[in-house]
């Protein structure tokens, strides 16, 4: 599933993948179209896909959320390593 990553000196990074919801704002005014990229996170809606580098059991891997389709996933965010709670 998740493939192992070669790591160099650069910090591995990931980010959102796939289409963002592009919403035109400003209605029917003559202003140049202002586009706001906003991805909706709501219950009952698709979880936005992303890739992220990860550490798991001695290995650096790359994780893609959509590779977990078919399984229940708990995605947890937290403020930081070596903090207290």
Partner 1 sequence: MSVDSVFVHKMWNDHELSKMVKGGVPFPMLSDGGGKVGSVYGVYLEDAGVEARGRFIIDPDGIIQGFEVLTPPVGRNILESIRQIQAFQVVRKSKGTEATPSGWKPGKMTLKPGPDLVGRVWEVWKTKMAFD
Q: In terms of DSSP bridges, do strands 15-16 and 50-56 run parallel, antiparallel, or are they unpaired?
A: antiparallel
CB 58 within 8 A of CB 5: no
**Counting contacts by CB under 8 A, is residue 41 touching partner 1?**
yes
Q: According to the binding rule CB under 8 A, does residue 65 interact with partner 1?
A: yes
**Quick check: 48 and 39 in contact, CB under 8 A?**
yes
Closest approach of partner 1 to the CB of residue 36, in Å: 13
Count of residues engaged in binding partner 1, rule: CB under 8 A: 48
Do 2 and 62 form a contact (C-beta atoms < 8 A)?
yes
Residue 13 binds to partner 1 (criterion: CB under 8 A)? yes
Contact residues toward partner 1 (CB under 8 A) are 2, 7, 11-16, 20, 39, 41-50, 52-57, 60-61, 63, 65-66, 68-83, 85
């Amino acid at each position: 599933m998740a493939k192992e990553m070669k790591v160099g000196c650069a910090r591995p990074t990931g980010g959102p993948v796939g289409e963002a919801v592009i919403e035109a704002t400003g209605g029917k005014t003559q202003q140049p179209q202002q586009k706001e990229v906003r991805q909706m996170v709501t219950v009952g809606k698709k979880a936005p896909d992303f890739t992220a580098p990860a550490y798991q059991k001695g290995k650096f891997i790359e994780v893609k959320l959509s590779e977990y389709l078919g399984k229940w996933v708990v995605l947890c965010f937290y403020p930081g390593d070596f903090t207290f709670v």
